[in-house]
Amino acid sequence: MSYLTSLVTYLLGNWAASIAWVVLSTFKGIYRKYVNNSSDLQIDVYTFHSFGFHQFWLFRQLWLFHQFRTSRY
């Protein structure tokens, strides 16, 4: 597999995981607030903090992937 193909595959997998995490945590917060009639408002803080963490994790993984693919043994 070429460098570009493996990079695109790696990116799509990580972006899909990040987006799925944000969507699931958002629905979890909506369910807690409106279906269970919970009074907490953790949906906003939790969702955006987890999304920011996943963005940091994704760029770190990209850097490690780049270093691994370009390193010489």
Check residue 17 and give its pLDDT: 72
User: Which amino acid is residue 22, in one-letter code?
Assistant: V
Given this model, what pLDDT does residue 45 score? 53
- Band of residue 53 on the pLDDT scale cut at 50, 70, 90: low
pTM score, whole prediction: 0.37
As a whole number of angstroms, the distance between CA 9 and CA 13 comes to: 6
How many CA atoms within 13 Å lie on the side-chain side of 43?
15
Q: If you average pLDDT over residues 59-65, what whole number do you get?
A: 75
Q: Which two tokens stand for residue 66?
A: 């780049």
What's the pLDDT band for 35 if we cut at 50, 70, 90? Answer: low
- Which of these, 44, 43, 54, lies nearest to 21 by C-alpha position? 54
8, 26 in Cβ contact below 8 A? no
